[in-house]
Structure 1
């Protein structure tokens, strides 16, 4: 499995705000916000339900990871997906850094990935 998720009671925009706030509590900032719905409408004239990818980064842990493996930036930042379902529910899904960063195959990176996963799981749990 490469991710974990939670269904929230928030409206879509409120969910993005709350996710961002909870990420900040765990030391993450949101570096990027990709509005996939708007992009697909603009580029392909396709209507989709709200679907936004947040690129979350914990600077302290990112710096440690880059120092351990300079090319690890290919696997950063941690993506957090906020998407609206057909039934109106909102799902927040998190990339599992432990699963993704095992590609690096370095013990020091595995330890950092576990720390990041714990932090993201706390964000998920705070959203319930």
Structure 2
């Protein structure tokens, strides 16, 4: 379930409904969405180019971020953690979250391992609940 650096699911559902459900699932796991980037609209406006529906949700759990930044102040360069929702050519909608265990590995600080594992488990639950709600197709 992922591309090596993400946890993901693919569902056959309406894009905006999946985005809203994913945001709610993140909130249920203690994450706020600090930024919501509409990539399709940005490319249209800035490049006059069409692109698939694609949103980047910058998710942050304040308690876990506080712990992590106290262990590694430079970790802020990797925050917030991104969760993406995009539409594939066949109409399926993918929800994919960065795997913080892979991301934090670049910091080479073992004191972050527990925090990364906690975030990974929460993102895994978010992705799983989206798949369960809409019927994961992959």
Matched residues in 2 for 1:113 and 1:72: separation? Answer: 12
Matched residues in 2 for 1:10 and 1:76: separation? Answer: 29
1:20 aligns with 2:23: yes
Selected match of 1:96 from 89, 92, 99: 99
Selected match of 2:52 from 49, 68, 71: 49
* 1:65 CA displacement: 0.4
Number of matched pairs: 128
Selected match of 2:86 from 80, 83, 88: 83
- Per-residue deviation, residues 42-89 of structure 1 (Å, max 9, x unmatched): 111111110000000010000000111111000111100000011111
Matched residues in 2 for 1:18 and 1:102: separation? Answer: 29
Q: Which runs of 5+ in 2 are unaligned?
A: 132-138
1:72 aligns with 2:70: no
User: Which aligned segments of 4 or more residues in structure 1 are displaced greater than 2 angstroms?
Assistant: none
Matched residues in 2 for 1:109 and 1:61: separation? Answer: 10
Task: With the length of structure 2 as denominator, give the TM-score of the two structures.
Answer: 0.90
Task: With the length of structure 1 as denominator, give the TM-score of the two structures.
Answer: 0.97
Q: Which runs of 5+ in 1 are unaligned?
A: none
